[in-house]
Amino acid sequence: MARSKSILTEARQIERAVTLIQLGARLQVLESETDLSYERLLRLYKEVAGRSPSKGQLPFSTDWFMTWQPNIHASLFLNTHEYLNKVAALDEIDTVIKAYQLYLEQLQTQDLEPLLSLTRAWRLVKFVDNGMLTMTRCSKCGGHFVTHPHEIARHYVCGLCNPPARAGKGKPAVPRALDVGLALAAAPAPAPALLGKSRAAAPTAPGVH
Cα torsion 41, 47, 52, 55 to 10°: value is: -30
Q: Is 179 in the site for Zn ion (CB under 5 A)?
A: no
For 144, list phi and psi in degrees, rounded to 5: -105, 130
Nearer to Zn ion, 32 or 162 (CB): 162
The distance of closest approach from Cβ of residue 133 to Zn ion in the complex, given in angstroms and rounded to an integer, is 17
Single out the segment in contact with Zn ion by CB under 5 A; choices: 29-37, 75-83, 141-149, 163-171.
141-149
Per DSSP, the three-state class of 53 is coil
Q: Is 158 in the site for Zn ion (CB under 5 A)?
A: yes
Contact of 144 with 137, CB cutoff 8 Å: yes
Taking CB under 5 A as the criterion, the residue among 18, 58, 112, 141 binding Zn ion is: 141
Q: H-helix or E-strand containing 146?
A: strand 144-147
CA distances from 209 to 13, 61, 119, 120, 206 (A): 27, 12, 10, 9, 8
Q: Is 58 in the site for Zn ion (CB under 5 A)?
A: no
Nearer to Zn ion, 27 or 160 (CB): 160
Single out the segment in contact with Zn ion by CB under 5 A; choices: 75-83, 104-112, 135-143, 193-201.
135-143
Single out the segment in contact with Zn ion by CB under 5 A; choices: 8-16, 56-64, 132-140, 194-202.
132-140
Total residues contacting Zn ion by CB under 5 A comes to 5
Taking CB under 5 A as the criterion, the residue among 46, 140, 171, 199 binding Zn ion is: 140
Say which residues have a Cβ less than 8 Å from residue 95's Cβ, sequence separation at least 6.
81, 84, 85, 88
Taking CB under 5 A as the criterion, the residue among 48, 161, 174, 191 binding Zn ion is: 161
DSSP state of 171: S
CA distances from 103 to 108, 155, 182 (A): 9, 28, 10
Taking CB under 5 A as the criterion, the residue among 97, 115, 138, 146 binding Zn ion is: 138
Binding site for Zn ion (CB under 5 A): 138, 140-141, 158, 161
